């Protein structure tokens, strides 16, 4: 018989025998009810082979076990609580890990990805040509009125002309209030420039000590404009040249000349108003970048941060953060525009880390490629600049994820990412990403002071100081001094190691190149000294005092040369070491202490402070 053995069971009426059908092999294995037909219903529904090949097991003697003692309701509830806590912990860890992986994946996205839901620059420009505007409209986002105008232009051929007006709704000439009027032009005399010999010296110092780090300007092209006397005709270029002279003056050998001449050239510049009636140019963006760097070196970084913000808004207005039309090659002016934007966001990133502020322009909204080579460039300087940009992107993710004061979402392609309160799972992937960046830098920029010299030593010291500073940024939120609840993690040794290494590199560089402090080195030095100071006081040991004194010596060397603003960090560290508790009145120096044209210097009571030390 195909259905296997037939068994009989007795019911209440012994005269009636009921046939008990056996379940098929599949239903027996899955422990479900079976009708016992040749092809049971379950096997037909799931398209399975219905078999009865396995023999039924004979029932043997039943071994009666001692019943286990049932847990009380309270015990059972406690067990469920423990299991629920374990499940929540595992789920929270897995969610945070996936968020961190998404964040680090942003660094693998091309710098200029193809937007899926936006017009190409060619299409967008073509849609505006029919409007007969005298000048390009600047960058217009998806929510702008320009999108409505474009839609109206596309619908215009479908509108019938009115016969009584000949197709015109009115005959009144169009008013154009956006066109400049003669009285808008404010005629001011051109500034005083250095004589030819001093001008040549200052330009050379600028390209040696600053442009090697942030290649904003192309040296042959810039020199051609100077020889052509363009600064006597073009106010935008005149401002750029004055700022180049101001930064170059910071590297003069004589201390009095440094202060007097640097502020003399800077005070003649016309920022925040000299070109607001006109479309911004690449020169304007370069000027704000140069002015911000000068202010960060000599005066208040908060003022520098404001200048950077204005420069970024100008860059957005001309669409510098968006990809240009696809062409065989971009023009030199477009390349300089791209570099000016990257320089602005790098400067902003360094100030954001020290001031605890959020970026104006989200890194995911910058759709331009890395700077590329043009004639007259130094390829080594360009390679350093590109390494700096990649490190900036890592730092921006660290600041957004580990130091966000709100739960605002990260914008861009990863809008589902939210900062979390306990971000310890973020540390390993962020550290891995940072280590991968270090391994990717060119061999010429590896830290090897025995085989480096000149600008190469400056660039290598800058990158490695910033690398150790970034390590501290990753682990600093979890050191015991920064949290009310101590954590059992190796963050403190990592921070201490990074701080000591940063100070050691800066000290070696100071001894080799005392007159050329690396850019962006003040914040890493100060933060390294503060980490060591916190650990020294927390453990009540004096082991790190020599390192702190070394950091002070390096900062003093910087303040004596091209970075007078380092005096603020020196003042704070010395007052902390002397045991002062009230640092709320710590102020920064005047914006132009030696200038004859800037009015009286502010008193210590009214001078703006870099940080607010009151919480």
The mean of the pLDDT values for the chain is 74
Q: What's the pLDDT score for residue 498?
A: 94
Residue 215 lies inside a defined structural domain of this protein: no
Give the whole-angstrom CA distance, residue 350 versus residue 518: 14
Q: Is 609 inside any structural domain?
A: no
d(CA 595, CA 590) in angstroms, rounded, equals: 10
The pLDDT value recorded for residue 476 is 86
pLDDT in tens, 200-217: 999 999 999 899 999 999
* pLDDT score recorded for residue 8: 42
pLDDT digits (tens, 9 = 90+) for 498-531: 999 999 999 999 999 888 888 888 889 999 999 9
pLDDT at 459: 92
Contact call for residues 371 and 386 (beta carbons, < 8 A) = yes
Average pLDDT of the segment spanning 101-116: 56
Q: What mean pLDDT do residues 329-335 have?
A: 80
The answer to whether residue 586 scores a pLDDT higher than 50 is: no
Which SS3 state, helix, strand or coil, does residue 125 take? helix
Backbone angles phi, psi at 82, to 5 degrees: -60, -45
- Is 22 a member of any domain? yes
Q: Is residue 4 within 8 Å of residue 22, measured between CB atoms?
A: yes
Phi, psi (5° rounding) for residue 276?
-70, -20
Does residue 176 register a pLDDT over 80?
no
Using one digit for the tens of pLDDT, what is the confidence trace for 480-492? 766 555 555 678 8
Over range 333-345, report the average pLDDT.
Answer: 89
For the full predicted model, state whether its pTM sits above 0.85: no
CB 253 within 8 A of CB 259: no
Q: Any idea which of 146-160, 278-292, 349-363, 594-608 has the lowest mean pLDDT?
A: 594-608
Consecutive H or E run containing 282:
helix 282-298
- Compare 596 and 403 and report the one with higher pLDDT: 403
How would DSSP label each residue in 46-111? Answer: TT------SPPPPP-PPPPPPPPPPPPHHHHHHHHHHHHHHHHHHHHHHHHHHHHHHHHHGGGS-S
| Residue 614 pLDDT greater than 50, yes or no | no
Q: Is residue 32 a part of any domain in this protein?
A: yes
Calculated CA dihedral for residues 122, 126, 131, 133, nearest 10 degrees: 40
Helix (H/G/I), strand (E/B), else coil: 601? coil
Count of structural domains, the chain: 1
> 505: which 2 tokens?
């590199």
Looking at per-residue pLDDT, the higher value among 327 and 295 belongs to: 295
Domain interval for residue 22: 7-45
Q: Is the pLDDT of residue 162 over 60?
A: no
Which DSSP symbol is given to 2?
A: T
Residues 6+ apart with CB under 8 A from 49: 26, 43
Under a CB-based contact definition with an 8 Å cutoff, are residues 586 and 571 in contact?
A: yes
- Residues 201/204/209/212 CA torsion (nearest 10 deg): 170
25 domain residue, yes or no: yes
Cα R_g (the chain), whole angstroms: 35
Q: Which two structure tokens, joined as six digits, stand for 203?
A: 């330009």
Residue 356's Cβ-side half-sphere holds a number of Cα atoms within 13 Å equal to 9
Is residue 344 within 8 Å of residue 308, measured between CB atoms? Answer: yes
Count the neighbouring beta carbons within 10 Å of the beta carbon of residue 47.
6
> In this predicted structure, what is the pLDDT of residue 165?
47
- Pick the residue with more confidence: 236 or 143? 236
Structural domain includes residue 50:
no
Q: Are 583 and 613 in contact (CB under 8 A)?
A: yes
What is the spatial distance between Cα 434 and Cα 426, in angstroms, rounded to a whole number?
12
Rounded to whole angstroms, the Cα distance separating 442 from 460 reads 10
State the residue for tokens 């000599």: 298
Query: Which residue in 525, 601, 605 sits closest to 563, CA to CA?
Result: 525
pLDDT in tens, 19-61: 567 788 888 887 788 887 878 888 888 778 888 877 665 555 4
User: Which of the four pLDDT bands, split at 50, 70 and 90, describes residue 177?
Assistant: low
For a pLDDT cut of 70, what percent of the chain falls above it? Answer: 65
Q: Confirm if 471 and 394 have CB atoms less than 8 A apart.
A: no
Query: Alpha-carbon torsion 43, 49, 51, 54, what sign?
Result: negative
Helix 235-249 × helix 219-227 angle, to 10°: 120
Cβ atoms of 247 and 210 closer than 8 Å: yes
**Per-residue confidence at 90, pLDDT binned at 50, 70, 90?**
low
In this model, does residue 172 exceed pLDDT 90? no
Residue among 505, 507, 502, 477 at smallest CA distance from 491: 477
* Rounded CA separation 192/262 (Å): 13
> What is the distance between the alpha carbons of residues 543 and 548, in angstroms, rounded to a whole number?
10
User: Which tens digits make up the pLDDT trace of 217-264?
Assistant: 999 999 999 998 888 888 888 899 999 999 999 998 887 788 888 889
DSSP H or E run through 516 = none
541 membership: H or E segment, kind and range: none
Q: Is 50 exceeded by the pLDDT of residue 138?
A: yes
Q: Is 10 helix (H, G, I), strand (E, B) or coil?
A: strand
31, part of any domain:
yes
Does residue 18 form part of some domain? yes
Joined tokens for residue 276: 């607001």
């Amino acid at each position: 018989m195909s259905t296997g053995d037939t068994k009989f069971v007795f019911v209440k009426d012994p005269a009636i025998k009921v046939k008990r059908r056996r379940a098929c092999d599949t239903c027996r294995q899955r422990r479900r009810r079976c009708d016992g037909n040749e092809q049971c219903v379950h096997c037909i529904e799931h398209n399975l082979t219905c078999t009865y090949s396995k023999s039924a097991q004979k029932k043997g003697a039943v071994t009666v076990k001692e019943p286990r003692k049932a847990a009380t309701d309270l015990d059972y509830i406690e067990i469920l609580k423990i299991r629920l806590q374990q499940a929540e912990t595992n789920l929270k860890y897995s969610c945070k890990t996936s968020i961190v992986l998404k964040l680090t994946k942003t660094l693998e996205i091309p710098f200029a990805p193809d937007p899926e839901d936006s017009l190409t620059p060619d299409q967008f420009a073509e849609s505006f040509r029919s409007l007969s505007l005298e000048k390009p409209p600047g960058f217009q986002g998806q929510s702008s009125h320009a999108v409505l105008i474009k839609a109206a232009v596309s619908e215009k051929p479908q509108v019938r002309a009115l016969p009584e007006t000949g197709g015109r709704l009115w005959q009144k000439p169009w008013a154009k209030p956006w066109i400049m009027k003669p009285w808008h032009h404010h005629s001011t005399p051109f500034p005083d420039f250095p004589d030819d010999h001093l001008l040549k010296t200052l330009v050379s110092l600028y390209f040696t000590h600053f442009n090697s780090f942030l290649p904003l300007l192309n040296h042959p092209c810039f020199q051609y404009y100077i020889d052509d006397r363009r600064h006597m005709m073009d106010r935008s270029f005149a401002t750029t040249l004055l700022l180049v002279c101001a930064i170059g003056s910071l590297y003069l050998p004589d201390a009095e000349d440094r202060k007097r001449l640097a502020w003399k050239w800077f005070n003649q510049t016309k920022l925040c108003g000299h070109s607001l009636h006109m479309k911004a140019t690449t020169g304007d963006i370069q000027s704000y970048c140069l002015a911000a760097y000068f202010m960060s070196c000599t005066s208040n970084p908060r003022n520098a941060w404001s200048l950077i913000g204005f420069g970024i808004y100008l860059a957005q207005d001309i669409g510098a953060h968006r990809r240009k039309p696809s062409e065989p090659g971009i023009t030199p002016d477009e390349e300089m525009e791209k570099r000016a934007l990257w320089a602005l966001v790098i400067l902003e990133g360094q100030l954001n880390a020290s001031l605890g502020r959020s970026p104006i322009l989200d890194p995911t909204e910058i759709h331009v490629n890395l700077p590329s080579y043009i004639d007259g460039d130094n390829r080594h300087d360009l390679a350093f600049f590109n390494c700096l940009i990649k490190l900036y992107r890592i730092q921006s993710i660290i600041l957004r994820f580990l130091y966000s004061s709100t739960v605002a979402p990260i914008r861009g392609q990863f809008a589902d990412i939210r900062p979390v309160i306990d971000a310890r799972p973020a540390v390993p992937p962020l550290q891995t990403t940072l280590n991968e960046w270090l391994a990717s830098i060119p061999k010429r920029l590896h830290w090897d002071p025995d085989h480096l010299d000149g600008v190469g030593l400056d660039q290598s010291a800058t990158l490695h100081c910033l690398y150790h500073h970034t390590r501290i940024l990753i682990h600093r939120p979890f050191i015991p001094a920064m949290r009310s609840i101590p954590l059992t993690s190796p963050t403190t040794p990592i921070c201490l190691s990074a701080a000591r290494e940063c100070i050691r590199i800066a000290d070696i560089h100071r001894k080799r190149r005392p007159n050329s402090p690396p850019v962006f080195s003040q914040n890493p030095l100060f933060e390294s000294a503060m980490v060591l100071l916190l650990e020294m006081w927390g453990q009540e040991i004096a082991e790190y005092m020599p390192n702190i004194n070394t950091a002070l010596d390096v900062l003093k060397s910087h303040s004596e040369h091209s970075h007078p603003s380092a005096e603020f960090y020196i003042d704070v560290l010395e007052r902390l070491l002397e045991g002062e508790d009230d640092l709320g009145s710590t102020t920064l120096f005047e914006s132009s202490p030696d200038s004859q044209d800037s009015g009286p210097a502010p008193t210590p009571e009214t001078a703006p402070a870099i940080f607010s030390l009151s919480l």
